[in-house]
Amino acid sequence: MRAAFARVLAELRQDSKLKLHEVASMSGYTAKYIGQLGRRINTPTLTAVIFISAALKADPREVVERTLKLMPKFRHLERKDPEAADM
């Protein structure tokens, strides 16, 4: 999820030609948080997806759809504890 969203975020930023601090300012989040989303450190909340999408002038539903479509491609990057899968 994090990697797929990071890819969509990067593409939207590139399309909008907005800098990281501009997206942060327009979305109400810090540049640090937006950067962490882009580096797959944090997982965005639904609220964050909606506000960041608005800042990028993108439909949040399309952002979620694009993210979902990319998730299988990036599944190998998600860090999961193998023992937690047994629970």
4-19 pLDDT tens trace = 999 999 999 999 999 9
Closest CA to 43 of 3, 72, 84, 71: 3
Instruction: Specify the CATH superfamily of domain 2-74.
Output: lambda repressor-like DNA-binding domains (1.10.260.40)
**pLDDT tens by residue, 27-57:** 999 999 999 999 999 999 999 999 999 999 9
pLDDT reported for residue 49:
97
Its pTM stands at 0.82
Report domain extents, the chain. Answer: 2-74
Closest CA to 68 of 23, 10, 3, 14: 3
Cα–chain-centroid distance for residue 20?
Answer: 13
Closest CA to 33 of 68, 41, 54, 78: 41
Query: How does DSSP classify residue 79?
Result: -
**pLDDT tens by residue, 77-86:** 666 544 444 4
